[in-house]
A and B are shown apart, each in its own frame.
Chain A
Amino acid sequence: MNGRRLVWRIARLVEIRDETPSARTLVLQIPGWPGHLAGQHVDVRLTAEDGYSTQRSYSIAAPADGERVELTVQQVPDGEVSPYLTEELTVGDEVEIRGPVGGWFVWRPTGTAPVLLVAGGSGIVPLMAMIRARRQAGSRTPFRLIYSLREPGERYYAEELRLPHPGLDVTYLYTRVVPDGWARQAGRLTIADMNTGGWPAEFGPECFVCGPTGFVETASDILLAMGHDARAIKTERFGPTGG
Chain B
Amino acid sequence: MGFVSRGFRGRPRDEGVKLPPGQYLVHDFPVLSAGPTPRVPLDRWEFAIDTEDGRTHRWSWQELMALPSETPTVDLHCVTKWSKLGTDWKGVSLDTLFADVESSAEYALVYSYGGYTTNLPVEDLLDGKAWIVYQFDGEELAAAHGGPARLLVPHLYLWKSAKWVQGIRLMNEDWPGFWETAGYHNYGDPWREQRYQGD
Interface residues of A (CB under 8 A from B): 1, 3-6, 8, 10, 43, 45-49, 51-57, 80, 84, 88, 93-96, 101-105, 213, 217, 220-221, 223-224, 230-231, 233-235, 237, 239-242
CA distance A10 to B198 in the complex (A): 19
Specify which chain A residues have a CB less than 8 angstroms from the CB of B178 in the assembled complex. 104
CA distance A14 to B110 in the complex (A): 45
CB distance from B136 to the nearest CB of A (A): 15
CA distance A213 to B80 in the complex (A): 14
CA distance A103 to B81 in the complex (A): 18
Any A CB within 8 A of the CB of B128: no
Q: Looking across the interface, which residue of chain A has its beta carbon closest to that of B179?
A: A104
Interface residues of B (CB under 8 A from A): 1-11, 13, 22, 24, 26-28, 30-38, 80-82, 114-115, 144, 178-179, 181-183, 195-199
16 pairs from A and B in contact (CB 8 Å cutoff): A1-B182, A1-B196, A1-B197, A5-B199, A45-B22, A48-B5, A52-B13, A55-B24, A102-B182, A104-B179, A217-B144, A223-B36, A230-B114, A233-B35, A239-B32, A241-B27
CB pair A52 B3 closer than 8 Å: no
Specify which chain B residues have a CB less than 8 angstroms from the CB of A4 in the assembled complex. 197-198
Q: Looking across the interface, which residue of chain A has its beta carbon closest to that of B81?
A: A55
5 cross-chain pairs, A with B, having the tightest CB-CB distances, nearest first: A239-B30, A5-B198, A1-B183, A220-B36, A103-B182
Q: A45-B22, A47-B4 are in contact. Are A54 and B10 (CB under 8 A)?
A: yes
CA distance A45 to B144 in the complex (A): 29
Specify which chain A residues have a CB less than 8 angstroms from the CB of B82 in the assembled complex. 239, 241-242
Q: Which of A1, A3, A54, A95 lies at the interface centre, i.e. has the most chain B CB atoms within 10 A of its CB? A: A54
CB distance from A242 to the nearest CB of B (A): 7
